[in-house]
Amino acid sequence: MASYEILIADDHPLFRSALQQALTLGLGPDVRLVEAASIAELETRLAERADWDLVLLDLNMPGAYGFSGLVLLRGQYPQIPVVMISAQEEASVVARSREFGASGFIPKSSPLEVIQNAVRAVLDGDAWWPPQLQEAQALSDEAKAASEGLASLTPQQFRVLTMVCEGLLNKQIAFELHVSEATVKAHVTAIFRKLNVRTRTQAALLLQQMESIPSS
């Protein structure tokens, strides 16, 4: 059996354990599973090596706003397939996962066999989507533009952006990231240019478009 290396990114230890068990049973002993409990941890794993076979990504992760984690991954590591996993199972959420570049979507309520089949399908080069995708509407032009801008950010710029959206000042961000205030200012300038915004409020509103509940 082929050996697979999979990253499980979810902030709930119990669900990570359940996925570990499901995938070990479904893929055999040759599968290597590595866990990450936040976007920062996930970035560290990806920086160490970029030839993972699959990332299983929880929709609501610490350090990301809804789909922004997926958009960041697709921008930085387009060669790695990403399957979203979430307790939010509405058709619109599933559709946005596909629009933002995921290779599949697994509802957290799925039976063990469904999880195994979905992961196996994506590892074989296919996509896997649950039935509710058929009900979905297309992504708005605003959300598409927002995702393209976010996908162009570096991981460090993304961290700065999330801190800006949390209301931190440049001085506070510099302290948190152990860099100079001038470096933070340069990052903010680059972020504004890439996102085509002029203010911190506009940047925050754009990032919030990545939240998991689609706007009507």
Residue 2 has pLDDT above 60, yes or no: no
Question: For the segment 76-103, what is each residue's pLDDT rounded down to a tens digit?
Answer: 899 999 999 998 888 888 888 888 889 9
What would you report as the CA-atom Rg of the chain, rounded to the nearest whole angstrom?
Answer: 17
More confident residue, 215 or 30: 30
Q: Is 2 exposed, middle or buried (0-12, 13-18, 19+ CB in 10 A)?
A: exposed
> Quick one: tokens of 72?
């960041």
Task: Find how far residue 16's CA is from the centre of its chain.
Answer: 16
Question: Would you state the pLDDT for residue 135?
Answer: 57
User: Is 141 within 8 Å of 215 (Cβ atoms)?
Assistant: no
pLDDT confidence bin for 1, thresholds 50/70/90: very low
- What is the pTM (predicted TM-score) of this model? 0.73
Residue 216 has pLDDT above 50, yes or no: no
Alpha carbon distance 48, 44 (integer Å): 6
Question: Would you state the pLDDT for residue 139?
Answer: 64
Question: For the segment 40-64, what is each residue's pLDDT rounded down to a tens digit?
Answer: 899 899 988 888 999 999 988 888 8
Question: For the segment 101-144, what is each residue's pLDDT rounded down to a tens digit?
Answer: 899 999 998 988 899 999 999 999 999 998 866 655 566 677 77
∠110-114-118 over CA atoms, to 5°? 115
pLDDT confidence bin for 215, thresholds 50/70/90: very low
Beta strands in 102-164 (DSSP E): 104-107
Q: Is 51 exposed, middle or buried (0-12, 13-18, 19+ CB in 10 A)?
A: exposed
Residue 212 has pLDDT above 70, yes or no: no
Question: For the segment 151-208, what is each residue's pLDDT rounded down to a tens digit?
Answer: 888 888 888 998 898 889 999 999 988 999 999 999 999 999 988 899 988 888 888 7
CB count in 10 Å sphere of residue 142: 11
Question: For the segment 14-27, what is each residue's pLDDT rounded down to a tens digit?
Answer: 889 988 888 988 88
